[in-house]
Chains A and B, each alone.
Chain A
Amino acid sequence: MSDNLEVRGCVLPLSLHYSVGDHTWIRLEDDGTALIGMTDVAQNLAGPLLHAKPKKVGATRKKGKPVATVESSKWVGPVKSPISGEVVAVNEDVKTDPTVINRSPYKQGWIVRMQPSDLAADMDGLLTGQAAVDAYRERIESEDIKACEHVDGFEI
């Protein structure tokens, strides 16, 4: 069975948790921290990214508040955190080459690492696995989001 499913060509790893409304994913790490990034749907909607500005290490964020601002030629907006916590690391690669988010949204293009402050409660509102894919499919179809196109070197 595949580790990933697709909706209109947009890849959604089944192992991640998603805030479908905010187009973000979270990966829980063994050390108790969590990596956060934009989904394939989000990077495709934004287009080739020109700038990414994560919050600084030490910033505390409530769930739903931005952990970064990203810009393309046609869109600028926040990357909203799916959880509350403190930013403990920032991916410097996204600051120097924001297109890494387009190329590798779930791997090299992680944006911040957070130390959660209320993980159990925050995870309650997130979806994973088939439930996440189904919710995303519903959103993609209801908003008629265009099929994902991937740049050269795109990886999951």
Chain B
Amino acid sequence: MSVDPEGKKILVIQTHGVETPNRTYSPLFYAMAAAAMEMEVLVWFTMDGTNQLKKGAAEQVELKPGSGVTLKTMLENAMESEVELRVCQQSLELFDMTTDDLIDGVDILGATSIIDLALNADHVMYF
């Protein structure tokens, strides 16, 4: 019997950054799909994933040559789809980034928050 997705919570953890562009598209796409299915969706960026959210970075990543679709497009589409974006506080510091370096629409949370989010999610997807 299939699970009714409506109202379920999905946590997507993204650990890869702009240096591996092929790994940036699918997590956001799946997040948008879950949001379209009326789930509550949060994408947590940590480790190298942090750099996806740096101002000026995402627009440099064209996901498929000639497509005109950039990582910036995907991030904006995700936020428009009511996918919440969060970044790890400790990862920011590790990469010498501050709040001012982040694109708009991203909240910063500490490490203990990821534990809470994972415990309270219906499902966690790791990338």
CB contacts (< 8 Å) of A75 on chain B: these are 32, 77
Chain B residues 66-99 with CB under 8 Å of chain A are 67, 69, 77, 81
Closest CB of chain B to A71's CB: distance in Å? Answer: 7
Is the CB of A76 closer than 8 A to any CB of chain B?
A: yes
CB of A77 within 8 Å of the partner chain: yes
Cα A76 to Cα B81 in complex, Å, equals 9
A69 proximity list for chain B (CB < 8 A)? 33, 36-37
CB <8 Å contact, A76 and B38: no
B29 close to A (CB within 8 Å):
yes
A137 to B38, CA, bound (A): 29
Asked whether A65 is an interface residue with its Cβ less than 8 Å from the other chain, the reply is yes
A77 touches B38 (CB 8 A): no
Chain A binding site: helix, strand, loop or mixed by DSSP?
strand
Q: Which of B36, B67, B69 contacts A77 (CB 8 A)?
A: B36
Query: For B33, what are the chain A residues with a Cβ–Cβ distance below 8 Å?
Result: 69, 71, 76
21 pairs from A and B in contact (CB 8 Å cutoff) = A65-B38, A66-B36, A66-B37, A66-B38, A69-B33, A69-B36, A69-B37, A71-B33, A74-B67, A74-B69, A75-B32, A75-B77, A76-B29, A76-B32, A76-B33, A76-B36, A77-B32, A77-B81, A78-B36, A78-B37, A78-B38
Residues in chain A within 8 A of chain B (CB atoms): 65-66, 69, 71, 74-78
